[in-house]
A and B are shown apart, each in its own frame.
Chain A
Amino acid sequence: MYIILAWRNIWRNPRRTIVILMAVIIGVWSMIFLGALMRGMETQMVKNSISTLTGSIQIHNQNYRNDPVVENSMDNIDKLDKALSKTQDPGTLWAKRVRVNAIASNARHATGVTLVGIEPEKEVKISFIGNTMISGRFLLPGDKNKIIVGKAFLKKFNTKIGNKLILMSQDTQKEIASKAFRIVGIFSAESEAVEKQFVFVPISQAAKMLKMGDSISEISIILPRLDITGKKETQAAKKLITAIGDDTFVVETWQQLLPMIKAYLEMSEFFLYIWYFVVFVAMGFGIVNTTLMAIFERMREFGLMKALGMRPFQIIKGVVTETFFLLVLGILTGIILGFLSVVAIAKNGIDLSALAAGTQMWGIPRILYPEIWARDVVVAGLVVLLLGILVSLYPAFKAAGVTPTTAMRKN
Chain B
Amino acid sequence: MSIELKMAWRNIWRNPRRTLLTIAAIAFAGMILVFMLSFQLGCYETMINTCVKISTGHLQIQAQGYLKDKKMRLVIKDPDRIAQFLDTVKGIDHYTFRANGFCLVSSDKRTYGVVVTGIDPMKEARVSSIKSLVRKGSYLKADDEYTALIGELLSNNLKVNINDEITILGQGRDGSIAAAVLTIKGIFNSGIDEFDRNVIMMGLKGFQEIFSMGTSVHEAVITADSLGDVSRVKQNIQNNFSAIKGDEALAGLDWMEIMPGLLQGIQMDLVSGIIMYIILVIVVAFSIFNTFLMAILERTREFGVMMAIGTSPSRITKLVMFESICMTIVGIILGIIIGSLVTIYFQKYGIFIAGTEDILKQYGIPDRLYPKLSLISATAGPLVVFLITFVSSFFPALKIRKLKPVEAMANV
Give the docked Cα–Cα distance between A169 and B104 (Å).
10
Secondary structure of the A contact surface, majority rule: helix
In-complex Cβ contact of A169 among B69, B111, B269, B355 (8 A)? B111
B287 & A26 in contact (Cβ 8 Å cutoff): no
Which residues of A lie under 8 Å from residue B25 when comparing CB positions? 282, 285-286, 289
Q: A26-B279, A112-B113, A282-B25 are contacts. A358–B267 as well, Cβ < 8 Å? A: yes
For B25, B113, B114, B358, the residue with the greatest tally of chain A CB atoms inside 10 Å of its CB is B113
Residue A405 at the chain B interface, CB threshold 8 Å: no
Give the docked Cα–Cα distance between A20 and B282 (Å).
12
Residue on A with the closest CB to B288?
A: A286
Give the docked Cα–Cα distance between A226 and B398 (Å).
57
Residue A403 at the chain B interface, CB threshold 8 Å: no
Residue A288 at the chain B interface, CB threshold 8 Å: yes
Secondary structure of the B contact surface, majority rule: helix
Which residues of A lie under 8 Å from residue B412 when comparing CB positions? 411
Indicate with 1 or 0, residue by residue over A152-188, a CB within 8 angstroms of chain B CB atoms. 0000100000000000111000101000000000000
A170 & B267 in contact (Cβ 8 Å cutoff): no
Minimum CB–CB distance from B290 to chain A (whole Å) comes to 5
Task: Give the contact stretch, choosing among A85-93, A201-209, A264-272.
Answer: A264-272
Give the docked Cα–Cα distance between A260 and B357 (Å).
10
Give the docked Cα–Cα distance between A186 and B130 (Å).
38
Residue B326 at the chain A interface, CB threshold 8 Å: no
Which residues of A lie under 8 Å from residue B293 when comparing CB positions? 15-16, 19
In-complex Cβ contact of B291 among A66, A169, A275, A293 (8 A)? A293
Query: Lowest 5 CB-CB distances: which A-B pairs, in order?
Result: A286-B287, A112-B113, A358-B264, A285-B25, A23-B286
Indicate with 1 or 0, residue by residue over A114-138, a CB within 8 angstroms of chain B CB atoms. 0000000000000000000000000
Residue B171 at the chain A interface, CB threshold 8 Å: yes
Minimum CB–CB distance from B27 to chain A (whole Å) comes to 10
Residue B32 at the chain A interface, CB threshold 8 Å: yes
20 CB-based A-B contacts, threshold 8 Å = A19-B286, A20-B287, A22-B286, A26-B282, A109-B102, A112-B112, A168-B104, A170-B110, A174-B109, A267-B355, A270-B353, A279-B283, A282-B283, A283-B287, A286-B286, A289-B22, A356-B264, A358-B261, A359-B264, A362-B265
In-complex Cβ contact of B113 among A110, A285, A358 (8 A)? A110
Give the docked Cα–Cα distance between A287 and B291 (Å).
11
Which residues of A lie under 8 Å from residue B282 when comparing CB positions? 26
Q: Which residues of A contact B (CB under 8 A)?
A: 15-16, 19-20, 22-23, 26-27, 30, 34, 66-67, 69, 101-103, 108-113, 156, 168-170, 174, 176, 259-260, 263-264, 266-267, 270, 275, 278-279, 281-283, 285-290, 292-293, 297, 352, 355-362, 411
Residue B294 at the chain A interface, CB threshold 8 Å: yes
In-complex Cβ contact of A267 among B22, B24, B290, B359 (8 A)? B359
Q: A20-B286, A22-B286 are contacts. A281–B28 as well, Cβ < 8 Å? A: yes
Give the docked Cα–Cα distance between A176 and B110 (Å).
10
Give the docked Cα–Cα distance between A23 and B279 (Å).
10
Counting contact residues on chain B (CB < 8 A from A), the size range is 35 or more
Give the docked Cα–Cα distance between A198 and B123 (Å).
37
For A286, A287, A292, the residue with the greatest tally of chain B CB atoms inside 10 Å of its CB is A286
B114 & A361 in contact (Cβ 8 Å cutoff): no
Minimum CB–CB distance from A174 to chain B (whole Å) comes to 7
Give the docked Cα–Cα distance between A19 and B288 (Å).
10
Give the docked Cα–Cα distance between A330 and B178 (Å).
71
A110 & B28 in contact (Cβ 8 Å cutoff): no
B279 & A289 in contact (Cβ 8 Å cutoff): no
**B residues 29-50 in Cβ contact with A at 8 Å:** 29, 32
**B residues 248-271 in Cβ contact with A at 8 Å:** 260-269
Given A23-B286, A360-B261; 19 other pairs, CB 8 A cutoff: A19-B290, A23-B290, A110-B102, A110-B171, A112-B102, A170-B110, A260-B359, A260-B362, A267-B355, A285-B284, A285-B288, A286-B25, A292-B21, A352-B268, A357-B260, A357-B264, A358-B267, A361-B261, A361-B265
A362 & B279 in contact (Cβ 8 Å cutoff): no
Minimum CB–CB distance from B232 to chain A (whole Å) comes to 25
Which residues of A lie under 8 Å from residue B109 when comparing CB positions? 174
Residue B356 at the chain A interface, CB threshold 8 Å: yes
